[in-house]
Amino acid sequence: MAFLTKLKWILGISLVFLLIAATNLVDRSNFVQVKESVMTIYEDRLVVKDLILDMYKDMQKKKVAILTEDQQFFTQDNQAVNRNLSTLIERYEATKLT
């Protein structure tokens, strides 16, 4: 084989190798973006649903106490429920998509 033929083969194989490496890097960054998107969706949608459900349960406790005129709830449990609601609201505000 002549020198120019060998050089063409080397350049061709090198070009194919570089193309494969570049494609791999692009795919890797795309997978990272997809992973971050899935994590964000999980944290901001599914976790928020649980937070809203917990807030609803605490509000229902307050509603039942008001309707039944439960003085024991207001003297003992109301402050704890209020603190829990404040914590849940802070966690809700910390999410990105809501």
pLDDT the model gives residue 98: 63
* pLDDT > 90 fraction of the chain, expressed in percent and rounded: 56
Q: Which residue in this structure is represented by tokens 């024991």?
A: 72
Amino acid at 82: N
Averaged pLDDT of the chain: 90
pLDDT the model gives residue 43: 77
* CA 78, chain centre distance (Å): 32
Q: C-alpha distances in angstroms, 33 versus 40, 45, 46?
A: 11, 18, 19
**What are the pLDDT digits (tens) for 39-72?**
888 878 888 899 999 999 999 999 999 999 988 8
Q: Compute the distance between CA of residue 19 and CA of residue 50 in angstroms, rounded to an integer.
A: 46
Amino acid at 34: V
CA atoms within 13 A on the CB side of 72: 1
Q: Using CA atoms in the order 88, 93, 96, 98, what is the torsion angle rounded to 10 degrees?
A: 90
